[in-house]
Chains A and B, each alone.
Chain A
Amino acid sequence: MSKQRVIVIGGGLAGLAATMKMAELGMSVLLVSFLPVKRSHSVCAQGGINGAVNIKGEGDSPDIHFYDTVKGGDFLAHQPLCKDMCHHAPYIINLMDRLGVTFNRTPEGNLDFRRFGGTLYHRTAFAGATTGQQLLYALDEQVRHYEVQGLVEKMEWHEYLGAVLNGDGRCVGAVIHNLRSGEISTEKGDAVILATGGPGLVYGRSTNSMVCTGTAVTSAYLQGAKYGNGEFIQIHPSAIPGRDKLRLMSESARGEGGRVWVPRKAGDSRKPKEIPEKERFYFLEERYPLFGNLVPRDVGAREIYDICVNDKLGVHGEMKVYLDLTHLTREFLDHRLGGILEIYEKFTGVDPREEPMEIFPAVHYSMGGIWTDYTRTEEGLIDHQSPQNQMTSITGLYAAGEADYQYHGGNRLGANSLLSCIYTGLMMSPGVLNYVKNVPEAADDVPEKLFTEATKQWQEKYAEIKKMSGNENPYALHREMAEEMISNVLIVRENSKLQATLEKIDEFEERWKNVNCVDTTDWSNPVPSFINQLWNMIQLSKIITKGALLRDEFRGSHYKPEFDLNQPSDFRPESYLEYEKQKAAGKVNEEGFNPEHLTYMKRFAENNVKWLKSTIATYQNGGPDISYEAVDTSLIAPRPRKYD
């Protein structure tokens, strides 16, 4: 058989982890990236990476981590994958330590851990407040070493346009656009992995980097791959407003003791430090005595929305609240949060060690992504040798990291994204190589014609884009579309607005056809690429919006007040487990339950029958066709979430 290789698209944590692992196993890898991989979006992750190492002797364990993850995701995550990931988390943290990540240390020299949202344990390893950057650098260094040894070839400044599919619909390569010369060509690969991150730019300004357009996965969807759980978009409770982007203020600020509050009096014009303690409303602490400021992100974002919009208590009457660190010492803050405090100070001119920060919720992460498969074992873990792991519905096309959809359900826990990225990259590698070893025909032996035709098709498409001479500026059109998404498909969702947005998106699609390619030169011209990306973002916004419109329930980040089951405030989730147990045994002793609770539990169970399923979007007749698929919830029984 000819010499084989795997193409990895994207050089963030997932792409680099897969590249490094496959190279270790002896496979040649072509690593394609929009920009030098060291500048990938993973650098923006701040707070840390989760793993139940139990360094503080709190009795933490991978199974508790697993439970917190599944509960945090409102039971929509695929449990065997989550279980396997949480059980591998301590090993991944140790590995990253061995690879040189400068994690913070305890006095004894062990790795230090801090608290994060959605858990009561110190489970988050961290390197100051630039953990993502540090993890990425360690993997980047390993991959550079393999590059020197000749096992990895990098194509930076290149963009993935689409998969090359053979007559059986199997992926045998990728169409690649050189962002400098403008040349379009194909690369042969026996498997292609999309590790291309999330789609924050669909919302214009988010906490995401400028490359996060979701274009690569959308391209796969347009080629027939299934897309899962598109409507589950995480809104991070704390970001710093900005004209170009909404910069993240890490959850670790709260993990280290930061307190969220607003003045009790609406429109209070005093400076925050002039407002006495008793006139401050620490609303998260009051409403969630158990988790306090560390409720999961979906809960936090909704509470901030509620306090600002419904109670009108936002700072200066705006959608903003205080995040206060001023009770902590300067030395402590610099040591554990230095990087993010410097960022806040640089961009706002205010020293957060002296003045409470003003923060607000922003689009942060997509729990949804391209549909991928896996093979579970009897014990509910993952068979790491299976070629199905992380494979999309297109044979030979894989996805990893934020680009996939299975790990975070309806809401991701903070510091689980760095984990899921590295985990998927490492976990999938043996299976991908097993797939590659057994392909019926090596990509190198596929008739050349298939590749020349794919090249030609995309060359023609780009030539058409360059000829576009309408009167819409693509960048201005993107801004308008993003405003629509921000206004209507965010924290609180209403069917009438979602329906109107879908119609609006159709209008944007029509207007796209009237775009002007404002730069038609060949050399290093980003405009044609952006026009293509904009088309894909329009398609992706349809997946998100239609998924949201059709899902008539409240789960995780997807909040529709109209379908809120209104959990009674004195309800305990244990009652539901008892209720389910009795139901399974054949008879429910209804008198044994509080009537209000019983009504709620019946509605909860009914709702799960209908909606505890993955949303699947497939491209048909110019738009997403939505269907639903079962989720493996066999390891932890679904139950109502509660954090107070």
Chain B
Amino acid sequence: MRRVKYFPEVMEIEAYVYTAGPVGTKWLEALKAGKLMAAYCPKCGRLFLPPKMYCPYDFEEVKELREIAPVGVVESYTVIERDFNGEPLKEKRVLAFIKFPGVEGGLIHYVKADKPRIGMRVRPKWRDERRGLVTDIEYFEEA
């Protein structure tokens, strides 16, 4: 009965290539080189992450990225124990929002820590082979 009641379909949602944009591309190239950078707004002087070609505060065009110290602070974290369907994960994963001193915004990324805590100072663990993706940072670890 179900075969006549339902029409199964698979959306071709894997077939996208997203453009990072001029500033985003520079940022990804920096990640590939093992450097962490933030967008710099020439009008308000703020640094912000993730970088975009426009300042979210005053709509000024952003052309420049500046390297930042790769030591962040855990602002919030969660230990993911189950998947979306409620099944226990084989391995718990710590997901965190990480801020960097003097930088607006920050990065969402994994943290490798048995006892994560708010305020914990963390630094990126870079992969040896990097491709220009946010996952060139394998995870953050206690600094």
* Same assembly: no
- Seen from chain B, the residues whose Cβ lies within 8 Å of a Cβ on chain A are none
